[in-house]
A and B are shown apart, each in its own frame.
Chain A
Amino acid sequence: DADVTQTPRNRITKTGKRIMLECSQTKGHDRMYWYRQDPGLGLRLIYYSFDVKDINKGEISDGYSVSRQAQAKFSLSLESAIPNQTALYFCATSKVGNQPQHFGDGTRLSIL
């Protein structure tokens, strides 16, 4: 099912370009997250949001920004993309409290 939808699924772009990755969810969850996955490193948290007015930095937020436009939408921006931001990016959602996170299918981003 597509409860957590990420667009685009794949993107190739050039160094210095501004990129926006979108995430939308129909799960009704308040909390949303952005992660990046690099080979051999697992997933690392970029930003997270507990509700529309709340934005928090994760462990690797430098070079990224986010916007929580609505409860169901959380976008990730790279203001000036660089090649070491080439990675697989995942959006996730969860209910309030100590609850499991549910992931989208990912966006594969390549920066040349």
Chain B
Amino acid sequence: GEDVEQSLFLSVREGDSSVINCTYTDSSSTYLYWYKQEPGAGLQLLTYIFSNMDMKQDQRLTVLLNKKDKHLSLRIADTQTGDSAIYFCAESPRTGGYNKLIFGAGTRLAVHP
């Protein structure tokens, strides 16, 4: 079946690193995505990783993929108050022709001083 799971809430201190975790079920997914949703806004594509990669780094963002365990994580270095948002993990399984994104419920990141 298709399912994506994330913890619902994460609280970090400003300046610390945040790690948001996600597990997915469909090993046919060739891309895995992280989206960010700020209050009152749509989903902003943050980054994505191809399934044959273990890691992708983009400035303060690091994505780690453990394909064996179907585990994806997003690390935000030096977390700032502007990073407070809901973060969604999504997979694109082959069964949907790779066009059907399956989203997790989202992790609400709260950054405090």
Contacts and interface: CB of A to CB of B under 8 A. Distances in A.
A80 interface: no
B105 A100 contact: no
B101 interface: yes
Contacts of B82: none
Contacts of A40: 8, 105
Contacts of A50: 99
Interface string B69-113: 000000000000000000010001000001111011110000000
B31 A90 contact: no
Contact of A48 (B43, B92, B100, B106): B100
A43 B88 contact: yes
Interface residues of B, number: 23
Nearest to A44: B103
A41 B98 contact: no
A42 B99 contact: no
B30 interface: yes
Interface string A19-53: 00000000000010100000011111100101000
B84 to A, nearest CB: 17
13 contacts: A31-B99, A40-B8, A42-B104, A43-B103, A45-B101, A90-B42, A98-B99, A100-B33, A101-B101, A103-B44, A103-B45, A105-B42, A106-B41
Interface of B: 4, 8, 30-31, 33, 35, 40-45, 48, 88, 92, 98-101, 103-106
